[in-house]
């Protein structure tokens, strides 16, 4: 169990009033491509409205997720252990990280199977599978559009230079449902300290698309290291720049460091699509973005980076091993 000290929280609260709000992007507006580029440069993160994902897909999946996470632990554990997909509880990764969270981790591949959930849901397993597939398909489409708008905003061709990696049949993309249960027995302790639901980290993939219920908890780190809390909005999506996109833009876009603070009285549910390239894809700065610049990173395959990232702790600077050392 990880907690933040009261002074650290007070410092964060004071800092939030000194900084501009996180960028709000209206996907229906003609100037949004340039605003998305600016947001990725300055924050590595933005809030998205008029996104085109049907409300019924969101509410149906949220309902299915609530049904699952409301089951007794002994029932949920039938969908585990992670292999690497399935149900997990508190343990995050293989290197000692823990959080006040339980989750379902799935591949978005069409080959994904839901046999683990059949013993829990019975005939309703198909309903769960359909809810996930409908939601993920809509979110993927939105992610493709965002990445193509980024290419337009950067004035690079072809405009599918990023999105084609997610569209590829071999795309190594993931979908995660996180549930942060309330922790009433820690109420007194939490008056002094805040419980970490999911520790600080960056996402290794190209782009992450997050949606949560109306319970707060998400925080992002600014360039100067200050943390700010992101007000929840169940009708919007939040977009994270991932490590791979930072490399492909030669550091122009910054992979956002983020974390989740658990709530001691309310349950938080989030859904995250992690858009990743095929395992064999070579990740390196795009030549069209490097005119007059040297590459800041060594070339690597997504498999190499993923393998390295999964051996690290959550808070590690995972890209550090792949940065080129400047000549002295």
By the 8 A CB rule, do 128 and 64 touch?
yes
The pairing of strands 194-201 and 174-180 is: unpaired
Told to judge if 193 belongs to the known catalytic residues of this protein, a careful annotator would answer no
Instruction: Select which of 60, 129, 252, 268 is catalytic.
Output: 268
CA dist., res. 125 & res. 117, Å (int): 6
Nearest to 27 by CA among 45, 40, 44, 46: 46
Determine the number of helices (DSSP H) and then strands (DSSP E) in the chain: 10, 15
**All residues at 6 or more sequence positions from 210 whose CB lies less than 8 Å from its CB, including other chains:** 218, 237, 238, 239, 240, 270, 271, 272
CB atoms within 10 A of CB 165: 26
CA dist., res. 66 & res. 115, Å (int): 19
Active site residues: 268
């Amino acid at each position: 169990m990880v907690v933040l000290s009261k002074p650290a929280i007070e410092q964060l609260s004071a800092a939030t009033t000194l900084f501009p709000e996180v960028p709000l992007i209206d996907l229906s507006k003609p100037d949004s491509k340039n605003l998305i580029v600016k947001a990725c440069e300055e924050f590595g993160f933005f809030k998205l409205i008029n996104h085109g994902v049907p409300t019924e897909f969101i509410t149906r999946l949220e309902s299915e997720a609530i049904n699952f996470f409301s089951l007794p632990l002994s029932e949920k554990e039938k969908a585990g252990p992670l292999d690497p997909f399935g149900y997990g509880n508190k343990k995050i990764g293989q290197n000692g990280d823990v959080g006040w969270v339980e989750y379902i981790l799935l591949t978005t591949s069409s080959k994904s199977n839901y046999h683990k959930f059949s013993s829990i849901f019975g005939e309703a397993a198909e309903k769960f599978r359909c809810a996930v597939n409908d939601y993920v398909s809509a979110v993927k489409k939105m992610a493709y559009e965002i990445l193509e708008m980024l290419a337009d905003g950067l004035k690079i061709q072809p405009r599918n230079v990023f999105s084609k990696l997610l569209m590829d049949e071999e795309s190594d993309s993931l979908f995660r449902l996180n549930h942060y249960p309330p922790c009433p027995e820690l109420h007194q302790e939490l008056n002094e300290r805040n419980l970490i639901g999911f520790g600080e980290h960056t996402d290794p993939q190209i782009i992450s698309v997050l949606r949560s219920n109306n319970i707060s908890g998400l925080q992002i780190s600014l360039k100067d290291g200050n943390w700010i809390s992101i007000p929840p909005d169940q009708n919007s999506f939040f977009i994270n720049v991932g490590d791979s996109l930072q490399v492909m833009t030669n550091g122009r876009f910054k992979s956002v460091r983020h974390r989740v603070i658990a709530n001691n009285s309310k349950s938080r549910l989030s859904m995250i699509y992690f858009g990743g390239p095929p395992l064999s894809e070579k990740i390196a700065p795009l030549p069209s973005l490097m005119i007059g610049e040297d590459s800041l990173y060594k070339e690597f395959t997504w498999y190499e980076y993923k393998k390295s990232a999964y051996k690290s702790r959550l808070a590690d600077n995972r890209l550090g091993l792949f940065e080129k050392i400047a000549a002295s």
